[in-house]
Amino acid sequence: MNYAEPPTLRPRVAVTEVGTRDGFQSEAAFIPTADKAGVIDALIGAGVTHVEATSFVSPRAVPQLADAHEVLARVARRADAHLSALVPNPRGAERALGAGVDEMVSFVSASETHNQANLNAPIAVSLAGVAEVASIARGRTPLRGAIACAFGCPFEGEVPVDAALRVVDAYAALGIDRLTLGDTTGMATPPTVARLVQAIGGRFPQMRVALHFHNTRGIGLANVMVGLDLGVREFESSIGGLGGCTFAPGATGNVCTEDLVYLLERSGVPTGVDLDALIAVAQRVEAIVGRTLPGQVMKAGPRLRRYSIDGARRAVG
């Protein structure tokens, strides 16, 4: 793309909101079920039609998401809205199906150490669990395979491309053709993103790849642009920049949904999302969690937002 020229339209990109799962799960104070469902409804109303709404994890492990079934029951379901949920095991898969999810998401880490910290199991054991979930999902709902620490691990450091490909190979053998690469602690860089995305594309050209970046080191949106130029057409983000893996030291919030939508739309990439409505949702979430969130566009507003000159501060002297 010639950035010196006005933006021209590229193929539409799907923005998948993960804030009500990946973001809310890190909040210590329980968020009322009605608030969670209300945020999902507002996101869909703003044009975000892909939402990873919750997780059917053990309530003892993540009390914040103990109301997963109730949240989905409260959401005003629409034909144009795609609701997914994280399922860590076969029991979670059965619960998710009972709640009527449109897609289930299972994940395994590319790092053995992180997989032990996050799932309390070796990668091989976790992959066997995904195989059980796949057998439950088959013919009933799509299953997405996610890879945590795809670009680096806070315990092991660099994660080789081959380590991530090991998980991709296992997913492909199960018939999973939807893949999310997770940058769990914000360790991805433009070169590491390019290497892994290109390696997967070379091995599985038909696999649908989504990218999930954290902004831990401030380059989450730079990584988005790399993925976009490599043909990726789905990105996951969190309203207001909520989130951060509780099992990974140093993890901070996800790439912010409003900032992502602003970047894409101003780069000539349609998302179908109403930025002003999305900003209103971010402000609503900020009030729910009771603290200032890191999103920048929610504070500054759209690029051409105008202010009255009356009352503006003036230089004196």
Supply the pLDDT for residue 127.
96
Whether 308 maps to a domain, the answer reads no
Q: Which pLDDT score is estimated for 7?
A: 59
Q: Is 130 exposed, middle or buried (0-12, 13-18, 19+ CB in 10 A)?
A: buried
Q: How far apart are CA 47 and CA 202, in angstroms?
A: 33
When divided into structural domains, the chain yields a total of: 1
Q: What is the pLDDT of residue 26?
A: 87
Considering the domain boundaries, does residue 314 fall inside one?
no
Residue 81 has a pLDDT of 95
pLDDT for 171 equals: 98
Considering only CA atoms, which of 212, 140, 204, 197 is closest in space to residue 173?
204
Asked if residue 276 belongs to a domain, the reply is: yes
Catalytic residue flag (residue 245): yes
* 307 three-class SS: coil
Domain residue limits at 289: 14-300
pLDDT for residue 308? 67
Does residue 7 fall inside a structural domain? Answer: no
Distance CA 110, CA 113 (A): 9
Instruction: With respect to residue 310, please indicate whether it lies within any of the assigned structural domains.
Output: no
Q: Where are the alpha helices (DSSP H) in 31-160?
A: 33-45, 68-74, 90-98, 112-119, 123-137
In a domain, 289, yes or no: yes
Position 185 scores a pLDDT of 86
Task: Please tell me the predicted confidence (pLDDT) of residue 195.
Answer: 98
Q: Contact 39/20 with Cβ under 8 angstroms?
A: yes
Catalytic member of 149, 153, 245, 256: 245
pLDDT for 153 equals 93
Flag whether 28 is in a domain. yes
Residue 266 lies in a domain: yes
Give the per-residue pLDDT at 63.
95
Nearest CA among 265, 270, 260 for reference residue 221? 260
- CATH code: domain of residue 256: 3.20.20.70
Question: How would you write the pLDDT of the chain (317 residues) with one tens digit per residue?
Answer: 555 555 566 789 999 999 999 999 989 999 999 999 999 999 999 999 999 999 999 999 899 999 999 999 999 999 999 999 999 999 999 999 999 999 999 999 999 999 998 888 999 999 999 999 999 999 999 999 999 999 999 999 999 999 999 999 999 999 999 999 999 889 999 999 999 999 999 999 999 999 999 999 999 999 999 999 999 999 999 999 998 655 445 556 799 999 999 999 999 999 999 999 999 999 999 999 999 999 999 998 887 666 667 766 766 65
